[in-house]
Structure 1
Amino acid sequence: MQFGVFSVSDITRDPVSGSTPSEAERIDAIVRIAKKTEEVGLDVFAIGEHHNPPFFSSSPTTLLAYLAASTERLILSTATTLITTNDPVRLAEEYAMLQHLAKGRMDLMLGRGNTAPVYPWFGQDLREGLPLALENYNLLHRLWREDVVDWEGRYRTPLQGFTSTPRPLDGVPPFVWHGSIRTPEIAEQAAYYGNGFFANNIFWPKEHYVRLIEFYRQRFAHHGHGTPQQAIVGLGGQAFLARRSQDAIREFRPYFNEAPVYGHGPSMEDVMAQTPLSVGSPQEVIDKTLTFREHFGDYQRQLFLMDHAGLPLKTVLNQLDLLGEEVVPVLRKELAARRAPGVADAPTHADRVRALHGDGVPRQVRPNANRGDNVTGASPYQES
């Protein structure tokens, strides 16, 4: 089981102090948050992709490459990468490069995003979002697994004899999660390819996500990747902690009330009752998180949103201390004890390399200028 945090990269006014961080301050803060995530013993840090204010994370690969050089064991991921408005050729190249730089400590989550204007900004049509997502991933999947690709589709120019470089590290493409909050076609896509399905169950009642996850598990088995229980599932969540429950409620309420995604709607207590939002003591957060397994079955990755709504950096770092010291160790122990036999482990690069190559050293491909290139279409690679 992997535990970590994710950020949507919002730049939001602090309703208590009245101040709004600059882009530079927020970017510096996210680096400190990622380093703290590793320091307190968590496994994963993930960052979203946005191209509009008030968000700053327009270039996740740049940030994650920097974090790869600044950490030692943390798995770095996206939450999400826009499969609709990014060219799949560029995704293949950029994330394979990140995979090499991170020595395999990375994966990515693909999604359509939730900002409608981003489509025309990148020359796409919002009404084509779903077929665009399906087609683009089909190409990305092939680019990482075939040395030479001939391809033609609806949404980009054809490819003839194209080789994406660099090739995936150790011959194993980055692990892909497909993120969705509402679309069964995306759950089907994840199941078809045997990839992970990430249900970012932050805002909606559990019943909605139960249906999506169960559908994904059934289709995963239907496509021959294993039993429904072996499907790879990730969940989102949000927590705000204090040693005393009443302090957590008091401290988080002004941030909740003014948060763009929460405020000016149902009360915090109603949202806590209806969604995975946890505000309380470490034990209360533990108890609520353990109910996720009851609802969705055994799963492989739990990410918490900890840094949005204008929370100051000092508060977020204190939250991570509590999460890493008092919450996650208990969750690891409890979830391991309750885990059913035959459940798949959380995906790691090392395990996937071992599954492909056994205990031997994986052979790396090397360019051979005498064997062709993207002009001729011949494979330019040989094994070493």
Structure 2
Amino acid sequence: MQFGIFTVGDVTPDPTDGRTPSEHERIKAMVTLALKAEEVGLDVFATGEHHNPPFVPSSPTTMLGYIAARTERLVLSTSTTLITTNDPVKIAEDYAMLQHLADGRVDLMTGRGNTGPVYPWFGQDIRQGLPLAIENYGLLHKLWRTDVVDWEGRFRTPLQGFTSTPRPLDGVPPFVWHGSIRSPEIAEQAAYYGDGFFHNNIFWPMEHTRKMVGLYRQRYAHHGHGTPEQAIVGLGGQVFMRKNSQDAVREFRPYFDNAPVYGHGPSLEEFTEQTPLTVGSPQEVIERTLTFRESVGDYQRQLFLMDHAGLPLKTVLEQLDMLGEEVVPVLREEFARLRPAGVPEAAPAHPATIRKESVRGSS
């Protein structure tokens, strides 16, 4: 089981003092959190991709390449790579380059994002969002697996005798997750290719998540990739912790109440009851996260959102200490104990990372 954090890179005022970090501060803070994630023993750091204020991560591979140079074990990923508005050729090149620089410690999550205006900014039509996602990923998949590509589709100019460079490290493309909250077509796409399916369930009830993951598992087996239980599943999560649960609720409430994405809506208590958001003690986070397995079965990756809504960097670093020291070790043990034989423990790793770990372990 892999555990990690993902960031959406929002630049949000701290509601307790009104201070807004600069873009420079926020970018540097995201790097600090990635380094902290490795320090406390997490497995994955993932960044979103946005091209509009109040978000800053417009160039995920730039950030992840910088983090790769400063880490040794951390898997570097995205919590969205915009498959609809990025050219698949550029995605193929950028992530293959990152794969080489990071010695294989790279995967990515394709998605359509949640910002409608991004489509015309990049010359696309939001009404074609799903066809774009399907066609563009089909081309990306081919570019990484075929040295010389001839291709023609609806949404970009044809390719004739084209080779994307660099080629994937050791001929093994980065592992791909297909991220979606609400589109069964994307669950089907993930299943068709035998890729991973990531449901970022931070805003939705677990019943909805259960249905989406269940569909993906059924279709994964239908397409001949293995049993439903062997399908590669990832979940999002959202937590805020203090030693005492009452202190956690009191401290997090002003951030929740004013957050751009869900502030001024349902109360904190209503939201935690209806969604996987957990605000409380480390033990409460452990207990709540273990219940996810009851809804979706044994899964391979759990990412937590922790650095949003204006929370100060110091506070988020404290959260990562608790996550790495008190929560994840227990979750690792419990998920491993409950996992049946034959069910993958994690997403497929690049052979280069496996070789490196073997050398490190024998030294």
Q: TM-score, normalised by structure 1?
A: 0.91
Residue correspondence of structure 1 range 121-136 to structure 2 within 5 A: 121-136=121-136
Partner of 2:61: 61
Which residue of the partner structure matches residue 106 of structure 1? 106
Residue 289 of structure 1 is matched in structure 2 by 289
Secondary structure in 1 aligned to 2:186? helix
Residue type at the aligned position of 1:338: L
Name the SS for the 1:237 alignment partner. strand
Residue pair 1:170, 1:353 contacting (<8 A) in 2 also: no
Tell me the equivalent position of 2:71. 71
Separation in structure 1 between the aligned mates of residue 318 and residue 63 of structure 2, nearest angstrom: 23
Counterpart of 1:80, as a letter, is T
Figure out how many residues of one structure are paired with residues of the other and give that number: 356
- The one-letter code of the counterpart of 1:95 is Y
* Percentage of matched positions with identical amino acids: 75
Question: Which ranges of structure 1 fall in alignment gaps of 5 or more residues?
Answer: 360-384
Deviation at 1:181, TM superposition (A): 0.1
1:326 counterpart residue number: 326
| Residue aligning to 2:253 | 253
**Which secondary structure state, in structure 2, belongs to the residue aligned with residue 238 of structure 1?**
strand
> What is the aligned partner in structure 2 of residue 363 from structure 1?
none
Q: Name the structure 1 match of 2:39.
A: 39
Give 1:286 deviation, angstroms.
0.3
Distance in structure 1 (CA, Å) of the matches to 2:180 and 2:348: 22
Give the partner amino acid of 2:47: I
Question: How far off its partner does 1:352 sit?
Answer: 8.8
Q: Equivalents in 2 of 1:350, 1:96: separation in Å?
A: 12
Q: Which residue of 1 aligns with 2:311?
A: 311
- Please give the secondary structure, in 2, of the residue aligned with 1:160: strand
Matches within 5 A, 1:204-219: 204-219=204-219
Q: Output the TM-score relative to the length of structure 2.
A: 0.96
Q: Compute the displacement of 1:354 (Å).
A: 7.8
Aligned residue in 1 for 2:89: 89
2:361 corresponds in structure 1 to none
Equivalent in the alignment of 2:192: 192
Q: In the aligned structure 2, how far is the partner of 1:255 from the partner of 1:167? A: 44
Shift of 1:346: 1.1
CA distance in 2, matches of 1:173, 1:348: 11
1:172 equivalenced with 2:167 (yes/no):
no
- CA distance 1:159–1:11, change in 2 (3 Å): same
SS at match of 1:304: strand
2:103 and 2:353 in contact (8 A); partners too: no
CA distances 1:89-141 after superposition (whole Å, capped 9, x unpaired): 00000000000000000100000010000000000000000000000000000
Greater Rg over alpha carbons, structure = 1
Between the aligned partners of 1:354 and 1:251, the Cα distance in structure 2 is 41
Deviation at 1:194, TM superposition (A): 0.3
2: CA distance, partners of 1:122 / 1:343: 40
Q: Deviations over 1:65-103 (max 9, x none)?
A: 000001110000001000000000000000000000000
- Counterpart AA for 2:57: S
